[in-house]
Amino acid sequence: MPLKDFLGFEKASKEISPRNFLAHAGLEANVTEVKMDRWEAGDVRREAREHTFLRYSQEARRRVEEMTANALGGV
C-alpha cells in the first residue's frame, strides 16, 4: 500500500522531489510503500515494529537510486 494512502495523505504530489525526498529521510509519501503482517494482541509497539515493512515502489526505485547517488556526490 502506498504510504500516502496508509497515512490518508491525498494531496501528496505525484512528482518525486529530490528536496522532499532528502528532507523526509527518503520516506516521501509518493515513493514509499507500507506492508503490515498480522500480529498478535499484546505489546502493540513491539508487534508493529516487528511486523511493519517499508520499501520503495518498483516504479520509483531508479529515481530513488539517482537522487541518493547525487546527494552522496555522484557516487
Spatial contact of 51 and 30, defined as CB atoms under 8 Å apart: no
pTM, full prediction = 0.69
pLDDT digits (tens, 9 = 90+) for 9-59: 777 777 888 888 888 788 888 889 999 888 777 887 888 888 889 999 999
| Residues 6+ away with beta carbon under 8 Å from 19 | none
Q: Where are the domains of the chain?
A: 3-62
SS3 56: strand
42 sits in which H/E element: none
The pLDDT, as a whole number, for residue 75 is: 62
